[in-house]
Amino acid sequence: MDRERRRQLKALGKAEVARESAALHASLRQANPATPGDGQWVAHYRLGVERERWLRRRLPLLRVNKLDSLFVVHPWGANTWSAHLGGYVLCSGCGTASPSAIPRRLIYWASCGCGNIRWRCFFGWRRGTIKDPDLLSPVKLIGKG
């Protein structure tokens, strides 16, 4: 690879990082609209953190109306996703946000609105089914304050 090609790739990489950073900052501003240093900013921040803790603890499937009222949905990574604890995916069929993986639980029985994502846990037995993986995209849920 010659020197000019390396410069071009470096410039492309920097532009992509700047674009991702700007999109993340816009999502964070949307989640907490108060200005930093203001007393309301701290209250909004704490409320957002509490909502994210609730999300990690309960691992609920969030329908569109609850999702929009509690969280800011931020696209996360590439369009491909892998199942991992703490990650969420958005079903473009019905707009439901679902955990990409769940730990073993005593009872957990849930599915999205269109039936594309189904989670079944019952006394140590665990099964997740996805009808059409192309409808899913990885997202980061940021708690609104």
Sheet holding 107-111, edge to edge: 107-111, 117-122, 125-130
Give 14-22's long-range contacts (Cβ < 8 A, gap of 24+): none
pTM: 0.84
With contact defined as beta carbons under 8 Å apart, do 41 and 32 qualify?
yes
Residues 6+ apart with CB under 8 A from 91: 97, 98, 112, 113, 114, 116, 117, 135, 136
Each residue's pLDDT tens digit, 33-61: 988 888 899 999 999 999 999 999 888 99
Across the range 7-31, mean pLDDT stands at 92
Strand partners, 72: 142
pLDDT in tens, 56-76: 988 899 999 999 999 999 998
Structure tokens at 99: 């955990």
